[in-house]
Amino acid sequence: MVTNQHKILRLCLSFILGLGIWAGHAPAMATPVDAATIHVINRLSFGPSPGDIQHIQSMGIDAYIKEQLNPESAQASPELQRQLRQYSTLPLTSIQLERQYGFRQPGKGKPKLSPEERKQLRRRARIPFQEASEARLIRAISSPNQLEEVMVNFWFNHFNVSAKKGRTRLWVGSYEQEAIRPYVFGSFRNLLGATAKHPAMLFYLDNWQNTAPNSPGARGRFKGLNENYARELLELHTMGVKGGYSQADVVSAAKILTGWGLPRGRQRWQAKQAFYFDARRHDNSRKTFLGQPIRGRGIAEGEELLDILATHPATAQHISYKLAQYFVADTPPQALVDRLAQRFLATDGNIRAVLATLFESPEFSDPQYFGQKFKTPYEYLISMARAAGRPSVKPRLVVGALRQFSMPLYECQTPNGYANTESAWLNPDSTIRRISIATAFTRGYGRQRTPVQPDQLGQTLGNRFSAQTQSVIDSSPQNLRAALMLGSPDMMYR
């Protein structure tokens, strides 16, 4: 059934591109011979860049998948390394960022800051966020380890924190560097633990204030139990909303995690790490979680909680569903999800092993799913830059474009992150914006504009356009063809 939304989209595209009927579904691949290669590139990367198709054809699809699952063997180019070195805040730890860039008022007895001094400090406090944003985009566009970048985006979104909330803005870059990147192919338990203890997550979901009501440390803003992180830990990070836990389990988890927080006062400027367990605020009573007794033993209770969650069958199902949804289809086959969950449990949550099982599955290679995942604005913009062969594209322009598409980088305010399904992003306004930015992008930018060449672009994309799209391209002036390629329905799907 064609919905009103799809009718509007069809009219928009027919008017702008002259393409016949597009009812919100991806057109067929124009070159079936290369369909499997294009599919693998589109799912394991943010889209083809010049030479990618030839690279896969020379080594084979299986070898390419193995290469992407083991990024340790592929070094970043000297140019990429040079670009990343310009960001001085990138290698700083959370505690170093807090001390060097954290905005704070002078203490008692010290002179107040002038308006200009306050302005300068606020401007300086924005530097870590700006550099983290640009570095993320440069890596996504230029890194040869594309699956690694895809998984950084996936896991950050899964364990979302938002820079829109106070001090979290200072830490989103270090959160990605310390709690996400090192674990994208490793142990889910290690990834879970790293996110749970990072100051960005502790602050974003308020667990830094989580305190046993009658404990010695219960005073001021640390007066009572805060269930925010415990609830999202179960609902989003591990078991899922249908995981079978109860409100009593949420309360128990919150009690178990009391005292998990940040250094305060003098410690804030003397501590060696940003995570701090305050035993004076911890609930040492005996607890029951998912029917299992948890005896009071300080910080070790929290580690036991994470152990239980990381190995729970509901967690295996929830994570497997999200991976299958991202890499296969918006509504993934349940048989595939079940097999991935079994692999998850059999390998103690080895992410690389689960992904290998996914990529070896008949569902992943089934042509019915080729080109059926609608790109998010982030994926679309990155894929354009890669296809055009512009590793030096100005990241600030991409940051601004993401705001226009209502997908600002690091600023999703809800803990469930951005959706990756077609229904969340396919709408008339977004479609027109995509076509508009594709047109502007192909013209080049700066004083010496270098337009994108359509012949080279078509070769990079594998000339995978539908018959309708190809007909419009062939009948259009040369200077419009690149824009038609990047703004086509074919380009908006992966």
Say what the pLDDT of residue 464 is: 85
The residue behind tokens 């000297």 is 78
Residue 450 has what pLDDT?
A: 85
Q: What are phi and psi of 261, to 5 degrees?
A: -160, -145
Residue 330 neighbours by CB distance under 10 Å: 16
Q: What is the mean pLDDT of residues 104-131?
A: 83
Mean pLDDT (whole number) for 451-471: 92
Residue 103's pLDDT is 64
Tokens of residue 6, six digits: 């799809």
- 457 pLDDT more than 60: yes
pLDDT band at 108 (very low <50, low <70, confident <90, very high): low
* pLDDT at 65 (0 to 100): 98
pLDDT of residue 254: 98
The predicted pLDDT at position 18 comes to: 53
Does residue 158 contact residue 237 with C-beta atoms inside 8 Å? yes
pTM for the model stands at 0.93
Question: pLDDT band at 75, cuts 50/70/90?
Answer: confident
How high is the pLDDT of residue 393? 81
Q: Which residue has the higher pLDDT, 179 or 16?
A: 179
- Band (74; pLDDT cuts 50, 70, 90): confident
**In contact, 100 and 92? CB cutoff 8 Å:** yes
Residue with more model confidence, 113 or 277: 277
Locate 431 and state its tokens. Answer: 């479609």
Which of 51-55, 382-386, 463-467 has the least mean pLDDT? 463-467
Q: Which residue has the higher pLDDT, 10 or 385?
A: 385
More confidently predicted of 105 and 183: 183
Name the percent of the chain lying above pLDDT 70: 90
Half-sphere exposure of residue 116: CA atoms within 13 angstroms, side-chain side: 0
Q: Please check the confidence at residue 390 and state whether its pLDDT lies above 90.
A: no
pLDDT in tens, 400-451: 999 999 999 999 999 999 999 999 999 999 999 999 999 999 988 655 578 9
pLDDT given at position 73:
72
pLDDT value of position 15: 42
Mean pLDDT of the chain, nearest integer: 91
State the burial class of residue 297 (Cβ atoms within 10 Å of its Cβ: 0-12, 13-18, 19+).
exposed
Q: At a CB cut-off of 8 Å and minimum separation 6, what does 88 contact?
A: 131
pLDDT at 117 over 80: yes
Q: What's the start-to-end Cα distance of the chain, in Å?
A: 23
What are the C-alpha distances in Å from 378 to residues 70, 143, 150, 398?
24, 16, 11, 9
Report whether pLDDT(371) > 80: yes
